[in-house]
Amino acid sequence: MANAVKEIIAAIKKHNQQDVKVTKDDVNIKTNPQKNLKTKIIITSVIILALIVLGYFLIPIFSKPKVQLEKSIAVLPFRNDSPNDSTTYFLNGVMEEILNNLQKISDFRRVLSRNSVEQFRNNTTKSTPEIAKALGVNYIVEGSGQKYGNSYRLRVQLIAAKNERHLWGESYEKEIRETKDIFGTQSEIAQSIASALKATITPKEKQLIEKTPTKNLTAYDFYQRGREEYTKYWLNNSNKAALQKAEDLYRKALKYDSTFAQACTGLARVYWDKNYGSEKEYFSENFMDSVLILTNIALSFDNQFSEAYTLKGTYYSEIGKPEQAIEEFDKAIKLNPNDWKAYYEKGEFYFADDLVNTINYLQKAASINRGAELPSLLGEIGSAYIWAGFPEKAKRYYQDKLKLDGDSVAYYAALGWVEFCNANINKAIEFEEKGYAIDSTDIGILYSLGFHYPWLGQYKESLKYYKRWFESLKIHRELNVNSMQRIGYAYWQNGYKKEAENFFNEQIKYCNRMNELKRTTWGQGLYTYYDLAGVYAFRGEKDKAYKNLRIFNQSQRINLFIAMLMKTDPLFNSIRNEPEFQQIAKEIEAKYQAEHERVKKWLEENGML
């Protein structure tokens, strides 16, 4: 552009020099009228040309639309200005309700979960831009306040993280006479933040934000205290005392307001966390029915409460009702587009037969929850990439997980499974032995080594690790429903046939009961039939083995792990070379390849490969 303008100016000067004649004494200037007219026309034309050239270069610059920052927000824990720590739960409750209100506004791209920001509760060293960068957001909400008697003071501000520019702020001081004195402020703050960021709030969203979930102050106070205890448990699952306190406080809240949907759903969540891992509960025909009853009661009083739909969807997923599960998850997401738990549970639901949806929803969950659960989410996404046949992408997620949690033992275990799925058994065990050298009690490493050593024919080593793993399961009262046949195989190969039969029978019992009850733990789909086929094939009961293999082969999509097992699983050695097994194995491999290509196409379409 600069060169073009210079050329035009030079042309004007040159032309002027040609049209002007100077006398010998440089005093008398003679001009030709016709030439002057010609000169003016040329000059005017040149100027017009110059403007056109300048416009060509400058108009796109000035007319280029201003880049809009993604409306992503984190609400940091509010600072308690009161010398009395016993009121912190109140400020935490206000902060979380403001966050929940913001999450309901679909025009906000991402509103991070409370768990995401807890890591910065007592952090005074990081600047606002540093916190925003760590959380991956463009805007930060900060607040402080205190509660004294039946009144509270509150100061809240919205900050643009990049330059720490103050966008909005307000102070509030109110006496609490009824619950709307709290809910009204929380609603007002959320709507003010939305206004400052020019976010659209639909009439439906406005209604959700302005809702008063209970009119009973005592019930709400007990609920806030219960939620605070549950958060403590969520951040540290070994804190069973906090879980029990949460249950007691939720029950007290319901005594004062039996129609309080949030307290009812809180109680359902506590019940799930207390009972899910129990074998007695898991194999009961009434499995988690209390959760269904409590969430239905909650929704009868408030049918727009997303958390209840999420938990109800998880319930339906576990009892083998896929249509109902997806319907409930979608209701939750519609009411709260930032419900990370709904995205997570939906992603886990699809693990068995739709890895595109698994990766998609787990990544959405990870984009919203940047807290203590993030390493686990990254690990799950990595596993999905292994199953889809993308080991390098899986490794990157495991590396990101390692950077966050520093858990090198879990990292080596994950790398072991990457190598196993690609039939590099020696390499898999090499990684796992490194993990074992760091922590010989890690349950994941013990299981991996027990599982993989039989592929090398090292059954003594396999049984050694399996024994330790199984003892750890019993100590921690953890339920595993798809590995008893693997322990049985290790016992058999070491000459302990009676013990082996006990484990084989246990696996058959588990699988039959799960099929009868339509349990789909860990997104197993029809994989229980694969486990049954393996036991029967090893025992020489071919008819039963093929019967179950045929059912398993009805699976529409297959992952790399299963495709690799079909090729090499020692439990099927007795029938591996038979035509029917070879045909099923061929079809299983074709289904995996189709799923791999489907995921690959989706990744390419979304610029992720």
Express the helix, strand and coil content of the chain in percent, nearest 5 each: 70, 5, 25
Are residues 417 and 448 in contact, defined by beta-carbon separation less than 8 angstroms? yes
Q: Could you tell me which of 527, 533, 501, 506 has the C-alpha nearest to residue 515?
A: 527
Q: Each residue of 317-339: pLDDT tens digit?
A: 998 899 999 999 999 999 999 99
Strands of 377-418 (E only): list them: none
Mean pLDDT of the chain, nearest integer: 90
- Assess whether pLDDT exceeds 60 at residue 10: no
Residue pLDDT, tens place only, 535-573: 999 999 999 999 999 999 999 999 999 999 999 999 999
pLDDT band at 6 (very low <50, low <70, confident <90, very high): very low
Return the pLDDT at 478: 85
For residue 426, the model assigns a pLDDT of 98
Distance CA 96, CA 220 (A): 14
Distance CA 104, CA 336 (A): 5
What's the angle, vertex CA 597, arms to CA 596 and CA 603, rounded to 5? 90
With residue 491 as reference, give the H or E element that holds it: helix 484-493
- For residue 42, what pLDDT band results from cuts at 50, 70 and 90? low
Task: Encode pLDDT of 107-161 as tens digits.
Answer: 998 999 998 999 998 866 889 999 999 999 999 999 999 999 999 999 999 999 9
The residue ranking higher by pLDDT, 421 or 62, is 421
What does the pLDDT read at residue 18?
47
Amino acid type, 299: L
Asked if 342 contacts 333 with a C-beta cutoff of 8 angstroms, the reply is: yes
- 211 touches 173 (CB < 8 A): no
The encoded tokens of residue 22 equal 């100077």
- Number of helices (H) and strands (E), helices first, in the chain? 28, 8
135 phi/psi in degrees, rounded to 5: -90, -15
Q: Which two tokens stand for residue 254?
A: 């319901």
3-state secondary structure of 362: helix
Asked if residue 105 lies in contact with residue 206, where contact means CB atoms within 8 angstroms, the answer is no
Say yes or no to pLDDT of 8 above 80.
no
Residues 328 and 309 sit within 8 Å (Cβ to Cβ)? yes
Supply the DSSP string of 543-579, one letter for each residue: HHHHHHHHHHTT-S---HHHHHHHHH-GGGTTTTTSH
- Using a 10 angstrom Cβ sphere, with 0-12 exposed, 13-18 middle and 19 or more buried, the burial of residue 460 is exposed
Q: Which amino acid is at 144?
A: S
Contact 365, 333 (CB under 8 A): no
Cα 105–109–113 angle (5° rounding)?
75
How confident is residue 85, by pLDDT bands cut at 50, 70 and 90? Answer: confident
Cα 488-591-530 angle, rounded to 5 deg = 20
Q: What is the mean pLDDT of residues 417-435?
A: 97
Give the model's confidence band at 512: pLDDT under 50 very low, under 70 low, under 90 confident, else very high.
Answer: very high
Taking residues 354-367, what's their average pLDDT?
A: 97
Q: Could you identify the residue written with the tokens 């219960």?
A: 226
Of residues 156, 150, 145, the one with CA closest to residue 99: 156
Between CA 255 and CA 264 the distance in angstroms is: 11
Q: Is the pLDDT of residue 276 over 70?
A: yes
